[in-house]
Amino acid sequence: MKRLRLWPQSLVGQIIILVAIALFVAQAINFGLLLRERNRVDLTSQTAPVVYRVINALDVRPDRRPDRPDLPPNPDRREEGRERPDRRNVEFSTTRPVLEGRPRPDVQARAEAMFDDIGLTVHSVVAAEDSRIMPMRRWEQIRSRATGETPRDRRVGRLRLAVEYEPGKWVTTEARIGNRPARFGGWLIGQTLILYVIVLLPLLWIGSRLARPLKQLTGSAQQFARTGLADAVDERGPGDVRDLTMAFNAMRSRIIAMLDEKDRMLGAIGHDLRTPLASLRVRTESVEDEGERARMSETIDEMNRMLEDILSLARAGRSTEAAQKVDLAALADAVVEDFIELGSPVDMADSDRAVAFVRPQQIRRAVRNLIENAIVYGDRAHVTVLHEAGMIRIAVADEGPGIAQDRMAEMLEPFTRLEGSRNRETGGAGLGLALVRAIMAEHQGELRLENRPEGGLEASLVLPA
């Protein structure tokens, strides 16, 4: 079972994730700074009314006006042409007031700072917050009667502040404060989503355009590794990507030229070797000893088969045969019939129709090689064609000793055999499985070897359906 991968594998996906994380961190820092500033503004808006009431109350006290000691504390007196400041909810006392409610040290610190800012010296500040039921105001009563709403009292917050402006002299005041927090979080979330849309969508578009040449380059490289042929990649995109594409196209052209030269060289070698072999076959006819003539003919045939195997393996991946839809069950049955006609111990289980897009001559050769190995090393071959999870498997089982597990991978290498001789009667030159593996790689398939529990080896050609 595959683990869930949260981190994307593509370049564009990783860039998007990194930018998204960076935006999230930036917004988190911005949120912290804005929240801090918002709290400071809220604290100032709560503290300012009571501080101003204290300042206004102290401004009309005779004992706070050394330049006008004869000024009486007349509530209705007008001073210097302006109305006397509002002194509602202001109390003076000579004892420390007891404030009900929750202490507010933050308001206390803010009030002391505001007093310092205006140059008013105070000795002590105490603040507390509580709530109480407030009757409806007159305009609220009128509105409720007009709308038909049920009149009801409302609970409001109350902030009280006591200030010791001189030793033993206190002034106490209070003011209403709001009890509904501002809708700050929702606004910030909406801002973040808008920022993501504005930044990430264009980035996704630009990233996909930048990654398109890389994707084409990857596909061409995979095609080249699989078949030995690949289309040239369009040279577009940023300068670095264009340079990489140009280098790949140059390398592709050079490798294709080398492979073409190799094919021409192999063709010449095959032609040059077949000519003397044909000459040797003619000369064997003049040998009078029938046994010697037969042994010479077998040697020439073995050399021809070995030469064909070497050339086929060297040309693997660059076949000129066209792929087509083939019923693999019918193809395997035809190969089995050829062996049966030659008297070989081969049988095939009944199989359903199994159609795949393959090069039939190559698959025929692969099946033939597996059956030959099964007969040589395991005395008998049992062929089966199976459907397995979107794949088609052609299995060839034998009744031999099998292969040691530590030598399974080694047996797929060219010129490797279970025993060291090169006698065709005991297994040939060791190119059969290497050639089958090359054919499977060209078909995007796989050659599997495994020992059977009941004994013997099972070699399977696994092809995409």
Q: Which of 162, 182, 202 is the last residue of a domain?
A: 182
In-domain check, residue 45? yes
CA distances from 365 to 371, 372, 395 (A): 10, 10, 14
Considering the domain boundaries, does residue 420 fall inside one? yes
Task: Please indicate, yes or no, if residue 456 is contained in any of the structural domains.
Answer: yes
What total number of domains does the chain contain?
Answer: 2
Whether residue 162 is predicted with pLDDT greater than 60 in this model: the reply is: yes
Q: How confident is the model at residue 179 (pLDDT cuts 50, 70, 90)?
A: low
Of the pLDDT bands very low, low, confident and very high (cuts 50, 70, 90), residue 332 is: very high
CATH of the domain at 460: 3.30.565.10
Q: Which residue has the higher pLDDT, 417 or 385?
A: 385
The pLDDT tens digits of the residues spanning 22-34 come to: 888 888 888 888 8
Q: Is residue 2 part of a domain?
A: no
pLDDT in tens, 224-281: 776 667 778 888 877 778 888 888 888 888 888 887 777 777 777 777 777 787 788 7
22 assigned to some structural domain? yes
**% of the chain beyond a pLDDT of 70:** 78
| 253 located within any domain | no
171: domain range? 11-67+80-182
* CA distance linking residue 88 with residue 57, whole number of Å: 9
Predicted confidence band at 98 (pLDDT cuts at 50, 70, 90)?
Answer: confident
Q: Tokens for 72, please give them.
A: 């009486």
Report, as an integer, the average pLDDT of 127-132: 81
Give residue 77's pLDDT.
39
Listed residues 164, 182, 200: the one ending a domain: 182
- In this structure, is residue 212 part of a structural domain? no
- Count the neighbouring beta carbons within 10 Å of the beta carbon of residue 455: 13
**Does residue 407 lie within any of the structural domains?**
yes
Task: Tell me which of 156, 182, 208 is where a domain ends.
Answer: 182
In angstroms, the Cα distances linking 355 to 226, 324, 425 are 22, 10, 35
